[in-house]
Amino acid sequence: MKKAEALQRIENLSRELNHYNHKYYVENISEVSDFEYDKRLKELQELEDQFPDLADENSPTKRVGGDITKKFQTVAHEYPMLSLSNTYSEEEIVDWENRVKKLVAGKVEYVCELKYDGVAIGVRYENGKFLQAVTRGDGSQGEDVSTNVKTIRTIPLQLKGDFPEYFEIRGEIFFPLSTFNAINKKREEQGEELFANPRNSASGTLKLQDSKVVADRGLDCYLYGVFGKDLPAETHYDSVLKANRWGFKTPDVDNKYILKTDSIEGIMDFIHFWDEHRVDLPLEIDGVVIKVNSYAQQEELGSTAKSPRWAIAYKFQTEQASAKLEKVTYQVGRTGAVTPVANLSPVALGGTIVQRASLHNQDQIEKLGLHEFDTVYVEKGGEIIPKIVGVDLSCRKDNAKKIEFIEVCPQCKTPLKRFDGEAHHYCPNELGCPPQITGKIIHFISRKAMDIDGIGSETVEQLFNEKLIKNSADLYGLTFDQITSLERMGDKSANNLLAGLKKSKNVPFERVLFALGIRYVGETVAKKLRKHSKI
């Protein structure tokens, strides 16, 4: 293919892929199959490899990541990213609204929005193309995380419509709860420490050096605050509607994620509705933001050194309940880390029934001063994993015994060790402790490791319990008869597993390194080791 033909094809493919991407991730409409999408993406990648000088920095191929960022550069904000003043009091919202009406001329409209519990981001566009993404930082300057933000598929790389020549749009990057829960489930299966909450995990993910890992995590984003000169709208609400037409995923008007009102009654209705229904959302929120709608009135009200006078945040009370501590049990992960778990009497919290809460480690137990059968306070505000935040001492019995951290592994009875600088206790019996053995094998077969089709965690447990395997290497010695001897494993399942084992022998060496589950050797380290090895 000649260079001119390649350029035309690259432009056509990029336009198609950007269109399909927006339809699928923003509008939830699938216009082509995954196969057709992947085929176009592969063709585009091959053309960019063949003609690297034709590759656009905002190409759809950037969505899958792969670039490594050694250091995030500090960037000054063109418009300060001020934090909002906030309150837990409805009376203070009334006082704020009264002050606004006294300070500005004319009728005042307000926009109520959900306060997304994520990471603030500012994304700059020039001539409709993604230019740069910067974190909040200290409000006057932040870090350039453009490479990682490009992997978030709901953030457009090319705009459409009547967008300004140059502007910045701000919003919040977050983890959808379904994605966050799936990540934690996988980490639990692999014996890894669970992420505490979506907000901190989103922040940590955005700072990862390997953009491919960021792409695989599945972050999402709502964008809604438009900043710039000569904007095509005179109000915040109209800017949000226009931004949606330019291709941004903005707060959903139909689902009441955003509301325009001219009264304190409308503001309060919005607050009360979402205080009750926030448990039904697919993401975490911690309150509601109220803004003056008119840009002219915003400018008239101005800002203090820390926050704008034209906006305020109402924060919901943290959800908390009391429950009886039935007992403390201990889980052993694939690395040997021992995690205490509080087993509780069932209690309703955050729209679910909670019966377990993580205690993290010995230090947490001692900090809480837990005793047997204590009545404890459980919290789930912004936390997916419930946590114990205190003890109701008035309910403690006089003869209650203090809970002491165990000294031996609950599975194999090996004395535990705690290394200097480590918060966890570890079982050192990695070759003889059942949950460590099966955890390592489950990690070995996982998608990002050896990616062995036809086998899951339940089958691993079956094979181990039947003494057919005692480590990952034993998988490759399994026979057809051994596999079919297991419950729910017929001829087809056995053949699929054997085929999966055969196929896995061709995975790249860095994935083999990662699959071995060596402590401190994650995906990024494994790639670096492979790069510097002679294998």
Render pLDDT for 307-328 as a digit per residue (tens, 0 to 9). Answer: 999 999 999 987 788 999 999 9
Render pLDDT for 385-423 as a digit per residue (tens, 0 to 9). Answer: 788 989 999 999 999 999 999 999 999 999 999 988 888
**Confidence band, pLDDT 50/70/90 cuts, at residue 535:** low
Whether residues 310 and 388 share a domain: the answer is: no
Domain end among 270, 296, 315: 315
User: Strand, coil or helix: what is 98?
Assistant: helix
Provide the pLDDT for residue 383: 54
**CATH number, residue 244:** 3.30.470.30
**CATH number, residue 491:** 1.10.150.20
Instruction: List the domain range (segments joined by +) for residue 96.
Output: 74-315
Number of domains within the chain: 4
Q: What is the mean pLDDT of residues 89-113?
A: 95
Q: What is the mean pLDDT of residues 335-346?
A: 92
Let me know if residue 347 belongs to a domain.
yes
Let me know if residue 121 belongs to a domain.
yes
Q: Where are the beta strands (DSSP E) in 396-462?
A: 425-426
Whether residues 101 and 143 share a domain: the answer is: yes
Let me know if residue 211 belongs to a domain.
yes
Let me know if residue 17 belongs to a domain.
yes
Domain end among 363, 394, 426: 426
Whether residues 83 and 207 share a domain: the answer is: yes
* Residue 115 appears among annotated catalytic residues: yes
- Secondary structure, 3-state, 213-237: HHHHHCCEEEEEEEECCCCCCCEHH
Distance in angstroms (rounded) separating the CA atoms of residues 361 and 403: 12
Q: What six digits make up the tokens of 383? A: 């936390």
25: Cβ contacts below 8 Å, ≥ 6 apart = 153, 154, 249
Domain end among 426, 455, 475: 426
Whether residues 307 and 337 share a domain: the answer is: no
Would strands 86-87 and 311-315 be described as parallel, antiparallel, or unpaired?
Answer: parallel
Distance in angstroms (rounded) separating the CA atoms of residues 276 and 280: 9
Residues shown for the chain: 535
Q: Show the CA angle centred on residue 425, arms to residues 424 and 426, nearest 5°.
A: 115
Let me know if residue 240 belongs to a domain.
yes
Whether residues 227 and 347 share a domain: the answer is: no
Provide the pLDDT for residue 525: 83
Whether residues 187 and 210 share a domain: the answer is: yes
Whether residues 156 and 132 share a domain: the answer is: yes
Whether residues 84 and 208 share a domain: the answer is: yes
Distance in angstroms (rounded) separating the CA atoms of residues 112 and 273: 12
Let me know if residue 69 belongs to a domain.
no
- With a cut of 90, say whether residue 358 has pLDDT above it: no
- Of the residues 2, 62, 115, 380, which is catalytic? 115
Whether residues 413 and 475 share a domain: the answer is: no
Whether residues 293 and 204 share a domain: the answer is: yes
Whether residues 226 and 119 share a domain: the answer is: yes
Whether residues 11 and 44 share a domain: the answer is: yes
- With a cut of 70, say whether residue 151 has pLDDT above it: yes
